[in-house]
Amino acid sequence: MATLIQIIIALIVAGFILWAVRQVLGLIPMDDWIKRVAEVVLMIAVVAIVLFYVLIPLLKMLPGALHF
């Protein structure tokens, strides 16, 4: 049960970070290529949050799974 609560919180935090940084990037005047690089870095960070706080704990919960 605690793992499910942690997963929900991690997804909410990842979504909020994605939304907030996109809003801030829209307000900053900069070149288009810099915004694209920032978007890629942002997506890598969100994927890392989802991977480490959602997917890996779910894999650990599977019976017979490899333990990282």
- DSSP-assigned letters across all residues of 46-64: HHHHHIIIIIHHHHHHSTT
**Residue 53 tokens, joined:** 């706080």
Beta-strand runs (E) in the chain: none
User: What pTM value is reported for the model?
Assistant: 0.70
pLDDT in tens, 34-44: 989 988 998 99
pLDDT in tens, 11-56: 898 899 899 989 998 898 989 999 899 889 989 988 888 888 888 8
For residue 1, is pLDDT > 80? Answer: no
Contacts of 30 (CB under 8 A, 6+ apart): none
- Among 1, 6, 23, which residue's Cα sits nearest to residue 50? 6
For residue 19, the model assigns a pLDDT of 93
For residue 68, is pLDDT > 90? Answer: no
- Are the C-beta atoms of 28 and 21 separated by less than 8 Å? no
